[in-house]
Amino acid sequence: MTKTTGAEPLHTRRPSRQGSVEQRSYRPWPLALAALILIVLAIPGALLVAPGFRGPDAPAPAPTAPAWQQAPATLSAPQVLAPLQPAAPVPGQAAVTAQVDPVLKADGGGTFTGMVQDALTGQVLFDRGGAQSRVPASNLKLLTAVAALRTLGPDHRFTTKVVQGPAPGQVVLVGGGDVLLGAAESQPEQVMGHAGLATLAAATVHTLQASGATGEIKVLVDDSLFTGPALNPNWQSGDVEAGEIAPLYPLALNSARFDPAVTTGPRPQDSAMAAAQEFAARLRTAGAGAGLAVAAAVDRSPGASQANAALLAAADSATVAEQVNLMLQVSDNYLAETMGRMAAVATGRPGSNDGATAALAAEVPAAGISPDAMNLVDVCGLAMGNQVSARQFAEAVRAITTGTDTRLRAALDGFPVGGLTGTLDTRYGDATTSGGAGLVRAKTGTLNTVLALSGYVVDADGRLLVFSFLGNGLTPGAAGNKEALDRAATALAGCGCR
């Protein structure tokens, strides 16, 4: 008899072959699939909670600034124009003429003369009637600049003074040649308004207070520094009426303008009295708190102030160099005539129109400029009776740029720059002249039938050239005439004319 246990003997377990296959081949796959799904679902959750375990992310590194924004390790060398080299090639006359001659053509009537020279040697590179005397218009201011710098000096200043009057209670405003006075406080950084009447009045009140002055103050004006006619008889009445010029006095506000920002239209016909009236008004305001009253009326001094009259206050103008540069930049006729008369006074001549033209006539040859056939009837170029040649203007520019009298270098900043400054700021903008923009530096001249351009330029080879082009008898308003001048100067700027 066989012994048994609670379990079935091994030899009696015989599961069917089909059941055995289902257990070994099918059941593991659902488990694997479920595990895979759990893993896939767990990944996003893990990513969400992981930062809480590992802390905040490290900050991203700051982007590197581009080189041009970074502090320099060393200072770079200053970038300046290199000095002109005397070894730079001098253009050939035939080549320069071939460039300039075709473009220097009048639009309608009239003709152009011209002269181009090498600045260092004086060698003539272009000559079309360069010795012919012509009406120069405002190019004449170049000669006025030469005379003023030679006789007065670049650093000279004109002084407007207030002195004790001839009778008690009187003060005298004495004109010393500053016609760029401002009405308000002095502006030391400016040329126009460098000396201000408000500042001068305040200084006068301070001195009067210190001396114990009381009661009413009467203002007189002394404009005796200038003599002769205040208006040049050679100026056309239409130009005076249009405000191109005004009667000349040795003191004025805003170069004899009502408003320094308005440079056309009517002007004060008595700039000395206008300045004195403004001074009296400023003195009245400044003296109100000091117990000083100022009479409403302003009179002229019965004569020149005494040299020993007690000085109450004084104000100095901008330098002659600064004023010359302003005169050239904006072509200020009033300032030019003043400079001529002050040059006359500096050389012992009367402060008149005749004295001014005589001073120019004397200083021109002294500066190395030929005076042959030159005729001067004013010093601003407004009169049609002036006669100067292109050669003489080229020589004047040579004297300023490379001459032996270094005082004349002070005028260089006054030359307008093509397309950028002064009376050339709106020119050199088209395709035929843009090559001269920023390179041509020249004084302009404009009358009804006259156009002129005299200045200097560095050519493509680095050679300094001086030039003068004068047009007379031109058709008024013809646009092509200014273009002809600008094209000629542009041709010189781009010239590698060997």
198 HSE (CA, 13 A, CB side):
9
Same domain, 331 and 313: no
> Cα 444 from chain centroid?
15
Domain boundary among 268, 295, 320: 320
Q: How far apart are CA 357 and CA 344, in angstroms?
A: 8
Task: Identify the active-site residue in 271, 317, 331, 454.
Answer: 331
Same domain, 481 and 339: yes
Same domain, 335 and 473: yes
Is residue 434 annotated as part of the catalytic site, yes or no?
A: no
Task: Identify the active-site residue in 138, 301, 389, 468.
Answer: 138
**Strand, helix or coil for residue 300:** strand
Same domain, 244 and 314: yes
Range of the domain at 307: 157-320
**Strand, helix or coil for residue 366:** helix
Domain boundary among 264, 287, 320: 320
Same domain, 235 and 333: no
Same domain, 284 and 227: yes
Residue at 42 is within a domain: no
What interhelical angle do 141-151 and 320-330 show, nearest 10?
180
Q: What is the pLDDT along the chain (498 residues), one digit of tens a residue?
A: 434 444 333 333 333 333 333 333 444 445 555 555 555 555 555 555 555 555 555 666 666 766 656 677 776 655 545 677 788 999 999 999 999 999 999 999 999 999 999 999 999 999 999 999 999 999 999 999 999 999 999 999 999 999 999 999 999 999 999 999 999 999 999 999 999 999 999 999 999 999 888 889 999 999 999 999 999 999 999 999 999 999 999 999 999 999 999 999 999 999 999 999 999 999 999 999 888 999 999 999 988 888 889 999 999 999 999 999 999 999 999 999 999 999 999 999 999 999 999 999 999 999 999 999 999 999 999 999 999 999 999 999 999 999 999 999 999 999 999 999 999 999 999 999 999 999 999 999 999 999 999 999 999 999 999 999 999 999 999 999 999 999 999 999 999 888
Report the run of H or E that residue 227 belongs to, with start and end.
none
Same domain, 170 and 221: yes
Report the run of H or E that residue 198 belongs to, with start and end.
helix 197-210
Q: How far apart are CA 272 and CA 177, in angstroms?
A: 11
Q: What's the residue count for the chain?
A: 498
Residue at 382 is within a domain: yes
The CATH number that applies at residue 123 is 3.40.710.10
User: Starting from the edge strand earliest in sequence, which strands make up the sheet with 464-472, in order?
Assistant: 124-128, 111-118, 464-472, 450-458, 441-447
Residue at 65 is within a domain: no
At 266, the amino acid letter reads P
> Cα 5 from chain centroid?
124
Residue at 44 is within a domain: no
Residue at 136 is within a domain: yes
Residue at 145 is within a domain: yes
DSSP type of residue 9: P
Strands 292-300 and 450-458: unpaired
Q: How many domains does one find in the chain? A: 2
Distance between start and end Cα atoms, the chain: 140
**Strand, helix or coil for residue 39:** helix
Domain boundary among 288, 320, 352: 320
- 3-state per-residue secondary structure call for 98-144: HHHCCCCCCCCCCEEEEEEEECCCCCEEEEECCCCEECCHHHHHHHH
pLDDT score of 35: 57
Task: Give me the residues paired with residue 315 across strands.
Answer: 160
The CATH number that applies at residue 300 is 3.50.80.20
Residue whose token pair is 């041509």: 440
pTM exceeding 0.75: yes
Same domain, 433 and 299: no
Same domain, 248 and 262: yes
Task: Identify the active-site residue in 141, 161, 218, 482.
Answer: 141
DSSP type of residue 85: P
Same domain, 202 and 307: yes
Sign of CA dihedral 254, 259, 264, 270: negative
- 3-state per-residue secondary structure call for 247-280: CCCCCCECCCCCCCCCCCCCCCCCHHHHHHHHHH
Is residue 133 annotated as part of the catalytic site, yes or no?
A: no
Give backbone dihedrals phi and psi of 174, rounded to 5 degrees, phi first: -105, 120
Concatenated DSSP letters for 277-291? HHHHHHHHHHHGGGT
Same domain, 196 and 250: yes
Cβ 382 vs Cβ 235: under 8 Å: yes
Residue at 221 is within a domain: yes
Cβ 474 vs Cβ 451: under 8 Å: yes
Same domain, 449 and 385: yes
Residue at 394 is within a domain: yes
Is residue 138 annotated as part of the catalytic site, yes or no?
A: yes
